[in-house]
Chain A
Amino acid sequence: MNTILEVQNLKKYFSSQKAVDDISFSIGKGSIFGLLGPNGAGKTTLIRMITGIFYPDSGNINLNSKKFNPSDDVIEIGYMPEERGLYKKMKVGEQAMYLAQLKGLSKQEAFTRVKEWFEKFEMQTWWNKKVDDLSKGMSQKLQFVTTVLHEPKLVILDEPFSGLDPVNTNLIKDEIFKLSQKGTTIIFSTHRMEQVEEICDHIILVNKGQKILDGSVKEIKQQFKEHIFSAEVDRIPAVLEHPSFSIVQQNNNNLTLKINEGYKSNDVLMHFINQQSNIIGYHEILPSLNEIFIRLVEGTPTARKFEPVTA
């Protein structure tokens, strides 16, 4: 897999905190990359360095295997910040043209691209409207269009769906997939884990300025699995207990069980078979990213809080 962006030992310290403290990762071309982390973890600072808004204190950013040069490479990057921003008094069409030209498109190019995207999103009638007159969802769409208008190789979206209704969310989600299929790489920063599971190939989790997790969604789930399985049987066996597992939850004939160490699924199934219970369903329950997120981010301080003090 070709890497489009490589970040090496990136550091950015502010006077009051280490906003980004030695983070490294790489992103494959055409992938959808999730950048996760709680509020104040350093995501925005990280993104601002990748978009050339901030200079890192140390470390390297390589774009397309070359050292990232903000003034030349801005055309390769499209950035939609978490807090949306548009000139309220400016007309929609002019605004899109202006932002496209600032990225380096010629007037002609900008015009054809804007028209193209406006048609795609059924926004042609907005051209002479002021941004003030648009609803929140509409201006979100406009913001998305202005982000991808110049066909950047790397699109960075910070909470792109906040404030969008399901219809428009799907519209933009589809566009994200289409862009990805065409080879555009997307960095997707969010707190909403169900979207990450749905969209992202690869994620990193950042907390307190440091990377604490890196891998594909599948790998990470495997990494954090707790050997919990769901089993459905036609009747509960007379003797339910067995050293191979312990019951986590029982709901009529649906069992959630945890396999004890040293045992495998087949030991559990064998027990049910020996007890004359028919197995209707059996599958592993992998932790959701949400659970992993909460466990990793909140786990440490809470555990520490309840630690008995040993002197």
Chain B
Amino acid sequence: MNKILLIIKREYITRVRNKTFLLSTFLLPLLMFGLIFGGALISANSNEKRKIAVDDESGLYKNSFKNNSAVEFEYPSGITRADYKQKGYEGLLVIYSTGKQKADSIRLFSEKQLGFGTDEAIKNQVQKINENMLLMERGVNRTILDSIRAKSESDDFLNYRSYQVKGNEIKEDNKVLAIAIGYVCGFIIYIIMIIYGQAVMRGVMEEKTNRIAEVIVSSVKPFQLMLGKIIGIAAVGLTQLLLWIVLIFVLSSFSSVFISSDLLQHAQQMNATTGMAQDNTVALKALEIKNIVFSANWALIVGCFVFYFLFGYLFYASLFAAVGSVINEDPQEAQSLALPITMPIIFALFIMMNAIQNPSGSMAVWGSIIPFTSPVVMMGRIPFGVPETVEWWQLALSMISLVGGFLLTTWLSGKIYRTGILLYGKKVTLKEMAKWAFKKS
């Protein structure tokens, strides 16, 4: 036991002292924020305006199309399918009509694909214009129509919220928040399992190719060496997680300094007296966001996150160690042998992305119970609520099977590791590894 502690200490200290640890601890969150905001920015910018020329035979639609962020409409005269491009339009919308009553058919022509969004936007607009025309035919005044539209879309009229009810408990259903939390948690666990799993593999490979393994296993059991390494790296991961939590805490308290507490209090009072957010101050918006964020069950989420973080890593780490132990200095070999392990992790990410859309679907449920995918998938489901979406038995079964799976993989990997670490110059196949794993000791 004492010797495992020594090994854990060495693994931990040499890794934490390494510059790459500090760099990755502070750069990874930045990178993630960068990816999220960068992604948002790119997707916002990618909706560059499409200029569409409208050739309206009927004259009914003239100036009725509304420009929005995605599409801009113009109504030039005498435009044809042959020359719309030269005149600087990306698409030509032709409205065929025989009478003055309605369009017979509407066709959009373009050289490039204009994208699903553009198509949908134009279709919606046509539908709305048709609706307006029908209403006006029945004698509804244009100004009345406009005012009705404006009013029906205002916040007063469209005060829509969804709630989750269980017995006497009523909770606001925040799908967007749940999706966001689920996605981020699942993604972090995915990254952790890959990065730290590979770190274990590389560590084992280093010991084998440096030939230090033989010196060490003449002092300790191979299983102790493997376990020490896995636990040592787990401690590094937990340290990194703790640093991230501290970092988030510091950043969030830093951000609340921007919104002075005075303003917040004022807003809170107003909220209490009027019972409804009417004033559109920045402070109130911030308060609202804060309330939404705090509405999530953070204690449960963080608790489960730490559990799945730790055991998800442990489940895979020993498998990575087993693969590392059979490799002979050939990185290509490492890649091909590690593939069967990385595949289910990547697969888990896809199930998780599906699960945040449909957290009660059977793929999400079983994906969150089977230990190969459960750490990533379950973290995608938990923010939707326990026990509303994730029933207690599912959570319990998922946790038990993950811990059981961890014990099983570690036991089997230990046997592969024991043989592999001292075997040089021989290319080991997956079949042989399986044979070692199931050999009676």
What total of chain A residues lie within 8 Å of the partner, measured CB to CB? Answer: 26
Q: Which of B7, B14, B214, B220 contacts A85 (CB 8 A)?
A: B214
Q: How far is the CA of A104 from the CA of B217 in the complex (A)?
A: 13
Asked if B218 and A86 make an inter-chain contact with CB atoms under 8 angstroms apart, the answer reads no
Asked if A102 and B212 make an inter-chain contact with CB atoms under 8 angstroms apart, the answer reads no
Q: How far is the CA of A89 from the CA of B206 in the complex (A)?
A: 10
Q: Given A53-B422, A103-B219, check contact A98 B212 (CB 8 Å).
A: no
Chain A residue nearest to B228 (CB atoms) is A102
A residues in contact with B62, CB < 8 Å: none
Q: How far is the CA of A77 from the CA of B218 in the complex (A)?
A: 9
CB of B11 to closest CB in A, whole Å: 11
B residues in contact with A278, CB < 8 Å: none
Q: Which of B207, B210, B220 contacts A102 (CB 8 A)?
A: B220
CB of A25 to closest CB in B, whole Å: 20
A residues in contact with B219, CB < 8 Å: 74, 99, 102-103
Q: How far is the CA of A48 from the CA of B214 in the complex (A)?
A: 9
CB of B440 to closest CB in A, whole Å: 13
Does B221 reach chain A (CB closer than 8 Å)? Answer: yes
CB of B434 to closest CB in A, whole Å: 14
Does A244 reach chain B (CB closer than 8 Å)? Answer: no
B residues in contact with A86, CB < 8 Å: 210, 212, 215
B-contact 0/1 string along A40-57, CB 8 Å cutoff: 000000001001110000
Does B3 reach chain A (CB closer than 8 Å)? Answer: yes
Q: Tell me what chain B mostly uses at the interface: helix, strand, loop, or mixed.
A: helix
Does A101 reach chain B (CB closer than 8 Å)? Answer: yes
CB of B382 to closest CB in A, whole Å: 39
Q: Given A48-B422, A89-B14, A90-B14, check contact A81 B211 (CB 8 Å).
A: yes
Q: Given A48-B422, A102-B220, check contact A85 B6 (CB 8 Å).
A: no
Q: Which residues of B221-266 are within 8 A (CB) of A? A: 221
A-contact 0/1 string along B202-214, CB 8 Å cutoff: 0000110011111
Q: Given A71-B221, A88-B210, check contact A81 B215 (CB 8 Å).
A: yes
Q: How far is the CA of A85 from the CA of B217 in the complex (A)?
A: 12
B residues in contact with A85, CB < 8 Å: 207, 210-215
Chain A residue nearest to B222 (CB atoms) is A53
B residues in contact with A52, CB < 8 Å: 218
Q: Which residues of B416-435 are within 8 A (CB) of A? A: 422, 424
Asked if A53 and B218 make an inter-chain contact with CB atoms under 8 angstroms apart, the answer reads yes
Does A306 reach chain B (CB closer than 8 Å)? Answer: no
Q: How far is the CA of A51 from the CA of B214 in the complex (A)?
A: 10
Q: Which of A51, A53, A74, A102 contacts B6 (CB 8 A)?
A: A102
Q: How far is the CA of A71 from the CA of B6 in the complex (A)?
A: 16
Q: Which of A53, A87, A89, A103 contacts B217 (CB 8 A)?
A: A53
Chain B residue nearest to A150 (CB atoms) is B219
Asked if B218 and A79 make an inter-chain contact with CB atoms under 8 angstroms apart, the answer reads yes
Does A83 reach chain B (CB closer than 8 Å)? Answer: yes
Asked if B216 and A102 make an inter-chain contact with CB atoms under 8 angstroms apart, the answer reads yes
Does A84 reach chain B (CB closer than 8 Å)? Answer: yes
B residues in contact with A84, CB < 8 Å: 211
Q: How far is the CA of A206 from the CA of B111 in the complex (A)?
A: 82
Asked if A74 and B210 make an inter-chain contact with CB atoms under 8 angstroms apart, the answer reads no
Q: Could you list 16 A-B pairs, sorted by A, with CB under 8 Å?
A: A51-B218, A52-B218, A53-B217, A53-B422, A81-B215, A83-B424, A85-B207, A85-B214, A86-B215, A90-B10, A98-B6, A98-B10, A101-B6, A102-B6, A102-B220, A103-B219
Which chain A residues have a beta carbon within 8 Å of chain B's beta carbons? 48, 51-53, 70-71, 74, 77, 79-81, 83-90, 98-99, 101-104, 146
Which chain B residues have a beta carbon within 8 Å of chain A's beta carbons? 3, 6-7, 10, 14, 206-207, 210-221, 422, 424
- 19 additional A-B pairs beyond A52-B218, A53-B214, A53-B422, beta carbons within 8 Å, are A53-B217, A70-B221, A74-B220, A77-B218, A79-B214, A79-B218, A81-B211, A81-B215, A83-B214, A83-B424, A84-B211, A85-B213, A85-B215, A90-B14, A99-B215, A102-B6, A102-B219, A103-B219, A146-B215
- The 5 lowest CB-CB distance pairs between A and B, nearest first, are A85-B211, A85-B212, A83-B211, A102-B219, A51-B218
